[in-house]
Amino acid sequence: MKKVLLWLLALTICVSMVASFSLAASVELVIWEQSAEWRIKALQSTIDAFVAEHPNVSIRIESFPFVEYLPKINSAVQAGTAVDIITIVGQWAVPLINAGLVSEIPVDVLSVKGLHEEYFQGPGDEAIVNGKVYMVPNHVTMGTGGLVYNEDLLKEAGISVPPKFETWEEFMEAAQKCTKFDDNGNMIQAGFSVHGVLESFHAMAYVLQQGGEIIKDGKIAFDNKSGLAALQAYQDIYLKYKVDDPLFVGGLNGFPQGRVAMMDIGAWAGKAAETQNPDLKVGFGDPLPSINPEYPAYSQCDTVWQFIVPENSKNKEMVWEFLKFYKTKEQFVNRVQYDGELPSLKSAAVEFLNDDVMDAYVKSAEYSTYSGYKVDREKFNNTVNTYLQQLARGDLTPEQALAGLTEDLNKILSGQ
């Protein structure tokens, strides 16, 4: 009888082990990402490395166009039907976190101390909500901070490659050489395009370069000479130097077509252009000179891409293992070759000092500021863009634009 019982016990243990193995083998994680080919390639590279070490796990990416992404995230998370991991603009996540729909990140995955010590200030601060860690920083999608240029257009204009500019005026002179018009005075090539390339990031960076602040104590802080000088500098690009035109198809649409010589933007934009036009010779240069030489060439980091884990994820233990793997220095360094994104992990970012592509962004990240949570980030940036468009057309003076911006943005910041 004892032998029978022992045999049954052994059988039970074996069945249990087989069941456990089958369960482990069946684990599948699903990650949401926006539909950007270069970012998906970078994410897939880390997934492949993780799965190689965890053969009982499979990880699938589902991607969506950027314009559809936020509504998709909100509806799924609120309905409790979201997937295991979501790549999200950090500020988008805050309302979901406050509603109790996002899991707190375990301390052994990432801690407040780790964020403060190991990450750039913007990504680190954003990942902490109400004193707890709810996000794992991904990369920093720099809005400004480095020069992306068309090598052929610069050479055609007689500008040496890679270009070096000591002052803003010197840069504007080069941009004018790269600008072309047809016989009717219509722009056919922009020397330096700032519309269609996250305009609000440029304007806010110019505020910082004038010694100003963007938000302080929950209100707009550039309703002063720093804001006025920044808006004047933005308008001058169009009306004084005439190196861009609001009616011209420039920026992220015109650059891949070979119609834009230079942009001040993250390296990701150059990587995207190469994907769209493999024949394009894209160059990456140093940060542009500060508009005001009395201050550094600050860039603006108002949010970054983060990972969140919905509260209803059914595979959290494996999710935490993946996120531990994802945020290692080795994986951050590896992904740059695919997406051109700046690692939010400092130890990974400094590996790219003196790198032909990334050096500028590593340096500018040290000067980037984090504005803090805005009540509605998209509304904030779209409001700024609306005023900038009127500035570019000459429909408003910098004084009028500053007054309107201050009033409208303060309403947004107060929740109106």
Residue type, 57: V
Please check whether residue 42 is in contact with residue 335, taking contact to mean a CB–CB distance below 8 angstroms. Answer: yes
Question: Is-cis flag, bond preceding 162, omega within 30?
Answer: yes
Instruction: Note the pLDDT tens digit of each residue in 51-81.
Output: 999 999 999 999 999 889 999 999 999 999 9
* Greater pLDDT, 82 or 258: 258
At residue 121, φ and ψ (nearest 5 deg) are -60, -45
Confidence of residue 25 (pLDDT cuts 50, 70, 90): low
Q: What tokens does 1 get?
A: 């009888």
Neighbour count for residue 71 (Cβ, 10 Å): 10
Q: Are 409 and 384 in contact (CB under 8 A)?
A: yes
pTM of the complete model: 0.76
Residues 6+ positions from 413 with CB-CB distance below 8 Å: 215, 218, 219, 220, 374, 375, 380
- Give the Cα separation of 141 and 344 in Å (integer): 9
On the question of pLDDT at 141 being above 90, the answer is: no
Closest C-alpha to 240, from 386, 398, 401: 398
Structure confidence at residue 299 (pLDDT): 79
| 14-18, 53-57, 237-241, 363-367: range with lowest mean pLDDT | 14-18
Give the CATH number of domain 147-298+374-413; options: 3.40.1520.20, 3.40.50.1370, 1.10.600.10, 3.40.190.10: 3.40.190.10
pLDDT in tens, 365-386: 766 655 556 667 788 889 999 9
Given a cut of 50, is residue 15 above it in pLDDT? no
pLDDT-based confidence at residue 190 (cuts at 50, 70, 90): very high
Residues 6+ apart with CB under 8 A from 260: 150, 153, 189, 190, 193, 250, 251, 254
Domain with CATH 3.40.190.10 in the chain: 27-141+303-359, 147-298+374-413
What are the tens digits of pLDDT across the range 91-117? 899 999 999 999 999 999 999 999 999
The CATH number of the structural domain formed by 27-141+303-359 is 3.40.190.10
